Chain A
Amino acid sequence: MASAPNAINNSANDLGNDLAIDLTDVHKTYGRKIRALQGVTLQVRAGEIFGLLGPNGAGKSTLVKIMMTIVRPDTAKGTVLNRGVGDPVALAKIGYLPEHHRFPTYLTGRQVVEFSGAMSKVDRPTRKKRASELLDRVGMGDWKDRPLSSYSKGMRQRVGLAAALVNDPQLVVLDEPTDGVDPVGRREIRDLLIGIRDEGRTVLLNSHLLSEIENVCSRVAILVQGRLVAQGTIDELTSSSRRYEIVVEGSAPTWCAESASVRKIPAGQMLSAGIQGESCRLVFLGLDALGAQPILDRLRSEQRTVIAAQTVRESLEDLFMRAVTDPTTGLIYRPGAAT
């Protein structure tokens, strides 16, 4: 069994008090064996789009469901919208779209949105007005009086988004909001999320689509086997993986292959050196262009031809893969919760 994942970075300490979600020490065990969440701490700033990532069974949905009172935690300290977890006043200000939602298909789009509003205690005139506005906003204006049974999956998703927004929420929790939506629709939903954020609302986005998260989220968290292994802005999380790559003709210099020599290079550490035909690639982790200059100088002094030299930053996918990989074994953690 792979060992428990270690935190890559946790840079949420400087967030101050302006937090929409501030959870600490969230534990949840299903039955007696399945430890879905093991002391998760999550902080989401007000007014940001926050991405929650993790492989299947990592505990993302459990965490969201605990916030929405669908799952009862073993322990959950902290606040959501400055109130205790499950506080009805806070729930009235949250819009939620679950992953596999099942709206009654005999209802029309308008009825779904209005019902959602009524359950969130929105008064009748307001919810009727907002239902029309929101259905127009998600591109369902022409379909609002037709039953859901005639909708495609993507259309139902749009109606679900409108239903999540009908109570004018401060916090919007979306679980796979673009599931089943075509590329054009995804773009529209992405724009909608940005619009929601620009209105001052907080969005917690749970999605498997890393590109989607990368495009819209200002901060992300990665959950693996019920533990939070990374949390911060994408820049923060990938900065530690920042590296400088130099491609030189011929084989790798011996001083690069010697760890003692590598350690002498300021602010850098050699990650790998691989032969590529007549040249080789030298990879220095955590090194920027300035820090690479002494290495380049030395290479030139040795009459080596530098073919390419560039700063390389990890993509979110790289970060994600690194987070879900056991550093000791190099194996990907097995899917599912810890047992």
Chain B
Amino acid sequence: MQTVAIFVGAYRELSARKIFWLALAISLLVVGLFACLGINETGISFLGWTFESPMFSTNTTSPETFDKLLFVNLGVDWWLGVLSTLLALVTTCGIIPDLVAPGSIDLLLAKPITRTRLFLTKYCTGLLFAALQVFVFSTASFFVIGLRGGAWEWALFAAVPIVTFFYSLLFSMCAFIGVLTRSSVASLILTLLAWTIIFTINISESIVNSGRIANQMEATKIESELANTDDPVDEDKLEELTGDLEKTLANRPTWDRAHFWFFGVKTFLPKTTDTLKLLDRWLLDGASMPSRNEESERGPQQAFGPKRVKRGEFQRAVKADEQSHSIWWVLGTSLVFEGIVLGLATVIFVRRDY
């Protein structure tokens, strides 16, 4: 009864805020944009206009696949993963500071409900916004993709728990800062700062890891070439390969050490980027979507990467390494972080006098 009342109260609170409706409207607008976008024989179509594209046309991609790519790349990664999350944080950053505000907290603590339950229920109501947002977006996308492409992809709804979990990682920090400072503005700014730091560390680890893999692949490739060299008189080539191998092997400890530290730090932090990448794993597999890396297989060699290894091969190796971390490692370590942050916030909330 009390939990339902708190959730109903949270819904009323959210619905009283204009930004709540604005965010939902933008969500539907983004899906509406999907509905207007399509592909034909020559390129991408938008409300009757056609923009010629060699990459996207019915000759290279099916309309159904195109819709799914839009959902994953634009809808999930950008809208849900960044912009919608920002709006959600702006909307919900005041939930905990409002809870602990004088005059408001008195009314709730005087009721027969434990402080721990009150705080954690309020925390969960903060996730309501993100969950509603993703649910509306996924439902609308489900119908757009289904009606246009004829594929009713239930796997799209995997976005609801994944994005809500991703949001919960950020909101746990927001709640912690909120209970500590009792300020909505401080909660928002410091959470965004923490998100930026976590994102930077995640990206840095990813780059360093790519460098480490590139180094290993390069060395393996050179060693293989050295082993297979049939022309012993080609001194220049032999010298070049030996020199490259020495240089590559000399760099290895630096890459390994850098990766060790970045990975170590990342292990203790919430995996915001990796959590969203779970959508790629689940949605692409579940909905039979093509990987975004398929196109890059045919593209030119990256400036960053092993010189002697094909780009596609390198990217597959990087992706395989990323996916070598199980879903449970991504979720588990993030959950531990969230648990610690939320636990600290709860202890502060429970022990404080108001």
Does residue B49 face the partner (Cβ distance < 8 Å to A)? Answer: no
Q: Which of A68, A69, A91 has the most CB of B within 10 A?
A: A69
* Contact residues of A between 87 and 143, Cβ < 8 Å to B: 88-89, 91-92, 94, 96, 98, 100-104, 106-107, 111, 115-116, 118-121, 123-124
Task: Using A91-B110, A104-B12, A119-B113 as known contacts, list a sample of 14 further A-B pairs with CB atoms less than 8 Å apart, ordered by residue number in A.
Answer: A68-B106, A69-B109, A71-B354, A72-B351, A72-B353, A88-B112, A91-B112, A103-B107, A106-B16, A107-B12, A118-B1, A119-B112, A121-B112, A124-B1
For chain B, give the interface size range.
20 to 34
CB neighbours of B110 from chain A (8 A)? 68-70, 91, 94, 96, 98
A binding-site residues for B, Cβ under 8 Å: 30, 65, 68-72, 88-89, 91-92, 94, 96, 98, 100-104, 106-107, 111, 115-116, 118-121, 123-124, 163
**Chain B proximity of A207: nearest CB distance (Å):** 17
Does residue B13 face the partner (Cβ distance < 8 Å to A)? Answer: yes
- CA of A238 to CA of B17 in the docked complex: distance in angstroms? 55
- Interface segment, one of B73-81, B96-104, B160-168, B236-244: B96-104
A106's contact among B13, B114, B351, B353, by CB below 8 Å, is which? Answer: B13
A89 contacts B354, C-beta separation under 8 Å = no
Closest 9 CB pairs of A and B: A102-B103, A118-B5, A106-B16, A88-B112, A98-B106, A119-B111, A68-B110, A91-B112, A96-B110
B binding-site residues for A, Cβ under 8 Å: 1-2, 4-6, 8-9, 12-13, 16, 101-114, 351, 353-354
A70 contacts B112, C-beta separation under 8 Å = no
- CA of A102 to CA of B2 in the docked complex: distance in angstroms? 19
Q: Which residue of A lies closest to B5 (CB)?
A: A118
CB neighbours of A71 from chain B (8 A)? 353-354
- Assuming the A-B contacts A119-B111, A119-B113, are A65 and B354 also in contact, with contact meaning beta carbons closer than 8 angstroms in the complex? yes
CB neighbours of B107 from chain A (8 A)? 96, 98, 101-103, 116, 163
Q: Which of A98, A107, A121 has the most CB of B within 10 A?
A: A98
B1 contacts A111, C-beta separation under 8 Å = no
Q: Which residue of A lies closest to B6 (CB)?
A: A119
**Chain A proximity of B15: nearest CB distance (Å):** 8
B353 contacts A30, C-beta separation under 8 Å = yes
A102 contacts B113, C-beta separation under 8 Å = no
- Assuming the A-B contacts A88-B112, A101-B107, are A106 and B4 also in contact, with contact meaning beta carbons closer than 8 angstroms in the complex? no
CB neighbours of A102 from chain B (8 A)? 101-104, 107
Q: What are 29 A-B contacts defined by CB distance under 8 Å?
A: A68-B106, A70-B353, A71-B353, A88-B113, A89-B112, A91-B110, A92-B112, A94-B110, A96-B106, A98-B103, A98-B107, A98-B110, A101-B107, A102-B103, A102-B104, A102-B107, A104-B13, A104-B16, A106-B13, A107-B9, A115-B9, A119-B6, A119-B112, A119-B113, A120-B112, A121-B1, A121-B112, A124-B1, A163-B107
**Chain B proximity of A337: nearest CB distance (Å):** 13
CB neighbours of A94 from chain B (8 A)? 110
B9 contacts A100, C-beta separation under 8 Å = no
B105's contact among A70, A96, A104, by CB below 8 Å, is which? Answer: A70
- CA of A94 to CA of B106 in the docked complex: distance in angstroms? 13
- CA of A89 to CA of B112 in the docked complex: distance in angstroms? 7
Q: Which of A68, A88, A94, A119 has the most CB of B within 10 A?
A: A119
B108 contacts A119, C-beta separation under 8 Å = yes
CB neighbours of B102 from chain A (8 A)? 100, 102
CB neighbours of A101 from chain B (8 A)? 103-104, 106-107
- CA of A163 to CA of B114 in the docked complex: distance in angstroms? 20
